[in-house]
Structure 1
Amino acid sequence: MTLKPLVTGLLVAGVLAAGGYGLYALGLQRGMGQANGATVAASGTAGAAAPMKAGDIDPSTGKKVLYWHDPMVPGQKFDKPGKSPFMDMMLVPVYADGDGDGDQSWIIVSPRVQQNLGVRTAEVIRGTLAPQVDATGSIAFNERDQALVQARATGYIERLHVRATLDRVGKGQPLADLYVPDWVAAQEEFLSVRRMQGSDLAGLIDGARQRMRQVGMNDEQIRVVETSGTVQPRITLTAPLGGVIVELLAREGMTVMPGATLFRINGLSTVWANAEIPESQAGLLRLGAGVEARSPALPGTVFKGTVQAILPEVNPATRTLKARVELVNPVANPGAQLAPGMFVSVTVGARTEQGLMVPSEAIIQTGRRTVVMLAEADGRFRPVDVDIGIEAGGQTGIKRGLAAGQQVVVSGQFLVDSEASLKATSTRMADGAPAPAATIEHRGEARIEAVGKDAVTLSHGPIPSLQWGAMTMDFGAPATGLPPGLTPGQSVRFAFTMNQDGLPVLTRIEPANGTGMEQKP
């Protein structure tokens, strides 16, 4: 009788416990369901918020986002964040700088890093550039100081006083003696008329005088016949100017015809210097510009002159234009020391230019762009595209891109080699932190050309992540060294990163068949 009530009580307690646990489990399940529903609702609300786009303010920085890009491919811009289609990395936002110029990125370089890198700046100033063009040239005859000696009548050369080309002659010096038979008849007629008696002979005398002119006699020779009263069948040709005989066509005994050139004489009182001006500097020349010429044959002597002409012809072999310089001041050619063919060094005063200028060492020419590194306040630097003018005295003219008073970097310009390199190295330069691009691993396949102690030469195929084409180049060994067994001619797969100096360093290399030989740093 006592056992039955005890069993009954245990059964009732078990039922109550089971019912209580069921109610607890049901309540827990409902509570979790409500919590999950709230989470889903919350996430749905968050997902409904509009994603960030170009032109929005980044709440993490408070700056306006211009666009997103991959630092390794900075030319490609995206209007919203996401994963780079070129690399296994997220796109990086580009913010507008403090001046609101969204097309130029700036970086911050700490004073300590500036000092370590030896960054120096110079002010953009306004001034006058007066460049000089240095060229080589050669002395030539002044073709405007030239004279011809010709025969005015048919005759015979009885005697030559000058017998070789380049003989020097003075003004009025005898050159040749000619016998002219035609003069005999004309002079005899004139003298016969002069001897005639009568009062109306003036017309006859004047006609005889005109016939002497027709056979080639000049007024001086006619006057000699009149005063002497005798026939003068011979004539002595003289030099009309001092210089050298550059052409000699006369020989003793030869017959000459009227108009035949017997001598060509070039003066030496003035000479030309034909300067070979590089085609790239031809635009700096101007007519009348002052010139100084120096010859190694006459050390210490400076010959002055002016640009007389710029010949419109380019030498296809040397790509130079010829500037004709006439040396005239103070004494053009004292003692005829400058001889045709002598080499001279010529300095030509080119046209001047006024405007902005910066030290020439501040200019960075990449082939496609001409930039300078502009130094702003608070250690900020940014590249600026400029149009440059002429260069003189270590200064280069700036036509566009800068303003007077700005500061430009004149040393350490490697910091701005391109906008991409600025972006990739900005974090490292800020205080020595590693650049994000240095952690990107690139992969490829290649054939080993040579194996060294600290490097291996690979002929690799295209590297899409760097937009490299196929080439042969050296790769530095990993920090733990090259794995054993590498031999020239072996096909391999490899991976590498770019170090802080921009050089490729292997992180691993293995045979193309995949049998081991893996080396990780």
Structure 2
Amino acid sequence: MNGFPNTRLGVAVGALLLVGIGVGAGVLIAPRSGEPATRTADAGADREILYWYDPMVPNERYPGPGKSSMNMDTIPKYADEGGSGSSGGVRIDPALSQNLGVRYATARRGDLEGDLSATAVVDYNERDIAVVQSRADGFVQRVYNRAPGDVIAAGAPLVDLLIPSWGGAQTEYLAVRRTGNTALIHAARQRLVLLGMSESLIASVERSGRARNTITISTPTGGVIKTLGVRAGMSVTQGMTLAEINGLATVWVNAAIPEVQASQLRVGQSVEVALAAFPGERFTGRLTALLPELVGDSRTVTGRIEMTNRGGRLRPGMFGRITFGGGSTPALLVPTEAVIRTGERDIVMLALPEGRYQPAEVRIGREAGGQTEILAGLRDGERIVASGQFLIDSEASLSGVTARPIGQTSGPVRAPASPTAGRSATAAQTGASMAAPAPRGRSGQ
């Protein structure tokens, strides 16, 4: 009975000793305020910490744990996680890359086809227009049941006009002819010409010996009636337009060429036309003009191709595609889908060893056949991401990886320590935000 209190006292003293040892160990393990941690407690492995940052503001770097400018706990950035490590770029787990469907390509030297394709529409040849006008005051007696849109042949009757003044002049001419005075006959005939009568009409009056005050006006060329300004019973004045006839022997094919590609074309080069109305059939022609005006809405230049319309098969309004032939030229090529266009610059995503990726700024040239010419920023044989590069670019941006500048095509680029690091074209959640939060207590910038 006397030893029982002593036993309880020994147990209490032992417990206090254990608590003291634990507190002492905690003091030894905890880092001093203001010093960046260089070890992690998990698994006892050494991991070098480059800096502390807030995943929401990845461009802000801190030497130790604490609060960011957004009052969020900062987390450590380890050297073996990529970013500004010795290997450069951002590391993506290979299994995750496979799940994202990432595909790769290699920058290679090849021949870029010179062919350029553009949409096109068949239109009237505006140079082949005949304007029919009245040469004297008169009255419309007949219009031969014509209407705009009718296709007529050359020499077809268009309208009958009653012209009283011509009847009187023809009667005087016939009377002078009977006098036999050559000078008077010549003067009277010249008067008919000045009144606007054609040589064929004057010859008809001379043969018949009778005046003709009703004149049939015919079309000077075949084609389609674009406008018809007369109807039976109406009066007309001298110089009034009666009709406009647009010829169909030739047509224009107007192609909408992007302004960035217009400089590749030359007037006179060969053209191949494929029309939706004639699948599988090809028409050939030559580029006759590049219009000087730029279409503002579509940012295109109009290329005009004049083509022979055999059999009238090519109808204005038909839709098709134009292929401008040209010789191929050697170039450094990458798939067009691999290029990220931000509006300010063009970027491709480099596929580095050990599952790392880094954006690289490039200068692009022409495009053809799904391939884009690289003028600067890549070397022959460099491996790039052809599909899934937008998500990787987002990861690189949030991890603080800057794009490799044009002109530096060897070795990685370290991420800058200032908040002016280059931004990517897209934004997505980074894996760094899944790391454990660091102890609180900001140590300063």
Q: TM-score range by the shorter chain?
A: 0.5 to 0.7
What is the Cα deviation at residue 411 of structure 1?
A: 4.9
Question: Quick check: 1:370 aligned with 2:353?
Answer: no
Query: In the superposition, relative to structure 1, how do residues 406 and 156 fare at CA in structure 2: closer, same or farther (>3 Å)?
Result: same
Q: Distance in 1 between matches of 2:74 and 2:97?
A: 32
C-alpha change, 1:412 and 1:162, in structure 2 (3 Å) is closer
Does the aligned pair in 1 maintain the 2:115–2:324 contact within 8 Å? Answer: yes
Q: Rate the CA distance shift 1:391–1:190 in 2: closer, same or farther, 3 A.
A: same
Aligned-partner Cα distance in 2 for 1:361–1:381: 17
TM-score with structure 2 setting the length: 0.62
Partners of 1:176 and 1:376 lie apart in 2 by: 80
Question: Which AA in structure 1 matches 2:377?
Answer: G
TM-score, normalisation: structure 1: 0.54
1:279-358 equivalences under 5 Å are: 281-285=258-262, 286=265, 288=267, 290=271, 292-296=273-277, 298-305=278-285, 308-310=289-291, 312=293, 314=295, 319=298, 323=302, 325-326=304-305, 328=307, 331-332=308-309, 334-340=310-316, 342-349=317-324, 355-358=331-334
Q: CA deviation at 1:171?
A: 0.6
State the superposition RMSD in angstroms.
4.4
Q: Kindly tell me the number of residue pairs found equivalent between the two proteins.
A: 349
In the alignment, the residues of structure 1 paired with residue 111 and residue 95 of structure 2 have an alpha-carbon distance, to the nearest angstrom, of 34
Cα deviation, residue 149, structure 1? 1.4
**Quick one: distance in 2 between partners of 1:160 and 1:435?**
82
Name the counterpart of 1:16. none
Q: 1:75 to 1:152 in 2, by over 3 A?
A: same
The answer (yes or no) to whether the contact 1:129–1:392 under 8 Å persists in 2 is: yes
Name the SS of the counterpart of 2:177 in structure 1.
Answer: helix
DSSP-derived class of the 1:209 partner = helix
Larger-gyration structure (1/2): 1
Which has the bigger relative contact order, CA under 8 A and spacing at least 6?
2
1:213 correspondence with 2:193: yes
Unaligned runs of 5+ in 1: 1-50, 52-66, 99-104, 425-433, 444-521
- 2:360 maps to 384
The offset of 1:248, in angstroms, is 2.2
Q: Residue deviations 1:417-459, cap 9 Å, x none?
A: 45345679xxxxxxxxx9765323499xxxxxxxxxxxxxxxx
- In 2, the alpha carbon distance for the partners of 1:172 and 1:382 equals 74
> Can you list the C-alpha shifts for 1:159-185, whole angstroms capped at 9, x where unaligned?
333433322211112223333322233
Q: Deviation of residue 215 (structure 1)?
A: 1.4
Counting only pairs closer than 5 Å after superposition, residues 110-149 of structure 1 correspond to structure 2 as: 120-130=104-114, 132-135=116-119, 137=121, 139-149=122-132
The whole-number CA distance in structure 1 between the counterparts of 2:54 and 2:347 is 20
* C-alpha distance in 1 between matches for 2:315 and 2:94: 62
Cα distance in structure 2, aligned partners of 1:361 and 1:148: 52
Verify: 1:261 aligned to 2:244, yes or no.
no
CA displacement, residues 90-120 of structure 1 (integer Å, 9 cap, x when unaligned): 576776868xxxxxx3467899998998763
Once the two structures are superposed, the pairs formed by residues 142-291 of structure 1 within 5 Å of their partners are 142-197=125-180, 201-202=182-183, 204-273=184-253, 281-285=258-262, 286=265, 288=267, 290=271
Q: Which amino acid aligns with 1:284?
A: Q
Instruction: Kindly indicate whether the alpha-carbon contact (under 8 Å) linking 1:311 and 1:322 is maintained by their aligned counterparts in 2.
Output: yes
* Among 402, 406, 409, the residue aligned to 2:382: 406
Q: Are the aligned partners of 1:272 and 1:324 in contact in 2 as well (CA < 8 Å)?
A: no
1:144–1:179 CA distance, 2 compared to 1 (3 A)? same
The alignment-based identity, stated in percent, is: 34
